[in-house]
Amino acid sequence: MKISLTGIKPTATPHLGNYLGAIRPALKLSESYETLYFIADYHALTTVRDAGEMRGHIYDVAATWLACGLDPESTLLYRQSDIIEVFELSWILSCLLATGQLERGHSYKDALAKGGSPNAGVFNYPVLMAADILLYGAHVVPVGKDQKQHLELARDVAQRFNHIFANDEELLTLPEPLIGEAPLVPGLDGEKMSKSRGNSIPLFATAKKLRKMVMSIKTGSEALEEPKDPDSSTVYQLCKQLTPSIADEMATKLRAGGYGWGHAKQEFFEALEAELGPKREVYESLRGDTAKLDAILADGAARARARAQATMTEVRKAIGIS
Ligand code: ADP
Ligand code: TRP
C-alpha cells in the first residue's frame, strides 16, 4: 500500500477551513493509503515563542485529529520532535542543496520582502520538511497549494541523493504533492478563512457560539420574497463544502424566493452541528485527558521511529558514515 504523509503545525486551534480543506480529505485517504500524520512542532518553533502555547497547541491538534476520526491504530500519529533521526537526515540533505535554492523559497523571500530579518529556521524550513517526508518513504503528501514549492524541493533533493549516493536507484522515494481541487473555504467575511484574518469559525466552538458566528456571516440585503443568487453567497459556499446534498436544496429554495438568508444560515448551522456536535464531545473529553494523548503520541512515535531508523541505516551506508 502506498504511503500518505502530512505534517500539521501546532500554531493555532484548528478552524473550519482546516477541517474542510485539510483534515477531512486527509482522513479519507486512510481508506486507500497507509497514513502517517504528524505534528510539526519544530517547524512551529520558527514562530512560536511561548512554551505554554506550544504545549497547548500540540494537544489541540492531536485531540482534533483524533476527534475527527483518526484511528491511531491504523494511522501513525506522532510528534516530529520525537523522531530525532529527522535532524540527522536534515543535515545530510542540506549538504546536497545549494543555498540559492533555499534563497528562492517563497516564505523566506516573503519575509525578506516584508522588510523582516527572518531567522535561519525560516531559511532551512524546506530542508527539515524534506527530511520529514523522505524519512518514511512517503509516496503522496496532501498539502495546500502554498506548500507545492516545498514538495518540489523534497523531490529534487531526493533525486540528487539517489543520483550521487545510490547509483540512481530510488533509495529515497520521490514524493508527489496531493493538492485538493476544492476551492478555498471562505470565512465569515467571504474572504479566505484564515486564523490571521480573524474571520474563522473555530472547529469546536460551543453550539451557542457556533450559531452566533454563523448568523454573523455576511449576506445580501434582499427581501424575504425575492429570488436570491446562491453562488455569490458565503453561506451557500460554506454549506456546499460541508454537505453538498443540503446545499443543493438550499440553492433551489434561494433561487425560488420566499426563503431568506436567515433561513439559509439556520440550515447551515444545523448541518454544521450535525457534523461537528458529536466530534466536539470527543474533542473535549480527549483534550481534558493529556495523559491519554501523551500515550497515543508515544505509541505513534515508537512505530514511526522504527521506520525512520531503518531508512537512516540505508542512508548512512550509502554516504559512507556507518
Ligand atoms: P491558516 O491559513 O489559518 O494559517 P494553515 O496555513 O495553518 O491555516 O493551514 C493548515 C491546513 O489547512 C493547510 O493544509 C491549508 O491548506 C488548509 N487550509 C487553511 N485555510 C483553509 C481554507 N480557508 N480553505 C481550505 N483549506 C484551508
Ligand atoms: N510546512 C507545512 C505547513 O506549513 C507543515 C509541514 C511540515 C509538512 N513538515 C511537513 C507538511 C511534511 C507535509 C509534509 O503546513
Q: Which residue has the cell 530525532?
A: 84
Q: Measured between alpha carbons, how far is 67 from 218 in angstroms, rounded to an integer?
A: 29
Which residue CA neighbors atom 5 of ligand 2 most closely? 7
- Measured over the CA atoms of residue 308, residue 309, residue 310 and residue 313, the dihedral's sign is positive
Residue 204: predicted pLDDT:
98
In whole numbers, what is the pLDDT of the chain averaged over residues? 97
Question: 77 CA to middle of ligand 1, Å?
Answer: 19
Q: Closest Cα partner for 24 from 58, 62, 69?
A: 69
Identify the band that residue 175 occupies on the pLDDT scale cut at 50, 70 and 90. Answer: very high
Identify the band that residue 247 occupies on the pLDDT scale cut at 50, 70 and 90. Answer: very high
Question: For the segment 278-305, what is each residue's pLDDT rounded down to a tens digit?
Answer: 999 999 999 999 999 999 999 999 999 9
Taking the CA of 184 as reference, the closest ligand is 1
In the three-class reduction of DSSP (H, G, I as helix; E, B as strand; rest coil), residue 114 is classed as: coil
Residue 101: predicted pLDDT:
97
Question: For the segment 267-281, what is each residue's pLDDT rounded down to a tens digit?
Answer: 999 999 999 999 999
Grid cell, residue 283, equals 474533542
Question: 35 CA to middle of ligand 1, Å?
Answer: 20
Q: Which residues line ligand 1 (CB under 6 A)?
A: 9, 17-18, 21-22, 143-144, 184-185, 192-196
Grid cell, residue 264, equals 439559509
Question: For the segment 80-112, what is each residue's pLDDT rounded down to a tens digit?
Answer: 999 999 999 999 999 999 999 999 999 999 999
Q: H helices within the chain, ranges in order?
A: 16-18, 24-28, 41-44, 51-67, 85-94, 99-103, 106-113, 120-134, 148-165, 207-215, 234-242, 244-256, 261-287, 290-319
Residue ranges, comma separated, of all CATH 1.10.240.10 domains in the chain are 207-284
Residue 313: predicted pLDDT:
98
Grid cell, residue 205, equals 466552538
Asked if residue 60 has its Cβ within 6 Å of ligand 2, the reply is no
Taking the CA of 19 as reference, the closest ligand is 1
Residue 27: predicted pLDDT:
97
Identify the band that residue 229 occupies on the pLDDT scale cut at 50, 70 and 90. Answer: very high
Cα 53 from chain centroid?
A: 18
Question: For the segment 13-41, what is each residue's pLDDT rounded down to a tens digit?
Answer: 999 999 999 999 999 999 999 999 999 99
Residue 89: predicted pLDDT:
99
**What share of the chain has pLDDT > 90, as a percent?**
98
Domain at 3-184+289-319: CATH code: 3.40.50.620
Question: 300 CA to middle of ligand 2, Å?
Answer: 18
Question: 125 CA to middle of ligand 2, Å?
Answer: 9
Asked if residue 129 has its Cβ within 6 Å of ligand 2, the reply is yes
Grid cell, residue 282, equals 470527543
pTM above 0.85, yes or no: yes
Question: 112 CA to middle of ligand 1, Å?
Answer: 22
**What share of the chain has pLDDT > 70, as a percent?**
100
> Is 248:271 a contact under the CB 8 Å cutoff?
no
Identify the band that residue 320 occupies on the pLDDT scale cut at 50, 70 and 90. Answer: very high
Residue 54: predicted pLDDT:
98
Identify the band that residue 52 occupies on the pLDDT scale cut at 50, 70 and 90. Answer: very high
Asked if residue 9 has its Cβ within 6 Å of ligand 2, the reply is yes
Task: State which ligand 1 atom lies nearest to the alpha carbon of 182.
Answer: 25
Contacts of 313 (CB under 8 A, 6+ apart): 322
Residue ranges, comma separated, of all CATH 3.40.50.620 domains in the chain are 3-184+289-319
Grid cell, residue 147, equals 506548500
Q: Which residue has the cell 549516493?
A: 165
Give the other-Cβ count within 10 Å of 206's Cβ.
11
Which top CATH class is 207-284? mainly alpha
Question: 61 CA to middle of ligand 1, Å?
Answer: 13
